[in-house]
Amino acid sequence: MKKILTTLLLSFVFFPSIVLTKNDLYEKIDLFGDVLENVKKEYVDEIDQAEMIESAINGVLQSLDPYSAYMSPELFKEMQTDTKGEFGGLGIEIGMEAGVVKVISPIDDTPAAKAGIKSGDYIVKIGKEQVQGKSLLEAVKLMRGPVGSSINLTIRRKNIKQPLEFKIIREIIEVRSVSSKSIGINNSLGYIRLKSFNENSDKQFLKSIKDFEKKKEIKGYVLDLRNNPGGLLNQAINITDFFLDDGEIVSTKGRKISETRKFFAKQGDETNGKPIVVLINNGSASASEIFAGALKDHKRAIILGENSYGKGSVQSIIPLRNGGGMRLTISKYYLPSGKSISEVGVTPDILVKEEGENFQINSDQDNQLNYAIKLFSS
State how many domains the chain has. 3
Cα distance between residue 197 and residue 235, in whole Å: 6
For residues 264 and 208, state if they share a domain: yes
In a domain, 71, yes or no: no
For residues 157 and 188, state if they share a domain: no
Residue 249 vs residue 161, higher pLDDT: 249
Mark which of 113, 144, 174 sits at the end of a domain. Answer: 174
For residues 28 and 140, state if they share a domain: no
Beta strands in 196-336 (DSSP E): 220-224, 248-254, 261-264, 276-280, 302-305, 313-319, 325-334
- The predicted-structure confidence for 195-204, as pLDDT tens digits, reads as follows 999 988 999 9
* Closest to 130 measured CA to CA, from 111, 149, 153, 105: 153
Mark which of 148, 174, 200 sits at the end of a domain. Answer: 174
Burial degree of 104 (CB within 10 A; 0-12, 13-18, 19+): buried
Going by pLDDT thresholds of 50, 70 and 90, the confidence category of residue 349 is very high
At 86 the pLDDT is 55
Going by pLDDT thresholds of 50, 70 and 90, the confidence category of residue 2 is very low
In a domain, 72, yes or no: no
For residues 207 and 279, state if they share a domain: yes
* Closest to 333 measured CA to CA, from 210, 245, 249, 238: 249
At 222 the pLDDT is 98
Beta pairing partners, 279: 224, 304
Buried b / exposed e over 330-355, threshold 16 CB at 10 Å, is bbbbbbbeeebbeeebbebeeebebe
Instruction: Residue 114: give the domain boundaries.
Output: 86-174
Active site residues: 286, 297, 311
Residue 8 vs residue 197, higher pLDDT: 197
For residues 136 and 252, state if they share a domain: no
Q: CA-based Rg of the chain, rounded to a whole angstrom?
A: 23
- State in Å, rounded, how far the first CA of the chain is from the last one: 71
The lowest-confidence range among 55-69, 180-194, 329-343 is 55-69
For residues 116 and 202, state if they share a domain: no
Residue 18 vs residue 158, higher pLDDT: 158
For residues 168 and 243, state if they share a domain: no
Q: How many CB atoms lie within 10 A of CB 268?
A: 12
The whole-number average pLDDT for the span 201-222 is 96
CATH number at residue 353: 3.90.226.10
Q: What 3-state DSSP class applies to 232? A: coil
Residue 8 has pLDDT above 70, yes or no: no
Mark which of 30, 65, 100 sits at the end of a domain. Answer: 65
The lowest-confidence range among 17-21, 23-27, 65-69, 107-111 is 17-21
In a domain, 325, yes or no: no
Name every residue whose Cβ is closer than 8 Å to that of residue 290 and which is 6 or more positions away in sequence.
233, 236, 237, 240, 249, 250, 333, 335
- The predicted-structure confidence for 277-332, as pLDDT tens digits, reads as follows 999 999 999 999 999 999 999 999 999 999 999 999 988 889 999 898 998 999 99
For residues 131 and 165, state if they share a domain: yes
For residues 126 and 145, state if they share a domain: yes
Residue 241 vs residue 140, higher pLDDT: 241
Beta pairing partners, 169: 150
In a domain, 57, yes or no: yes
CATH number at residue 150: 2.30.42.10
How are beta strands 325-334 and 248-254 bridged, if at all? antiparallel
For residue 189, which phi and psi values (nearest 5 degrees)?
-120, 140
In a domain, 42, yes or no: yes
How are beta strands 276-280 and 220-224 bridged, if at all? parallel
Residue 202 vs residue 135, higher pLDDT: 202
In a domain, 229, yes or no: yes
In a domain, 286, yes or no: yes
At 16 the pLDDT is 42
For residues 208 and 353, state if they share a domain: yes
For residues 195 and 47, state if they share a domain: no
How are beta strands 164-169 and 150-156 bridged, if at all? antiparallel
Note whether 177 and 196 are within 8 A (CB): yes
For residues 59 and 200, state if they share a domain: no
In a domain, 319, yes or no: no
DSSP letters, 298-334, are TT-SEEEES------EEEEEEE-TTS-EEEEEEEEEE
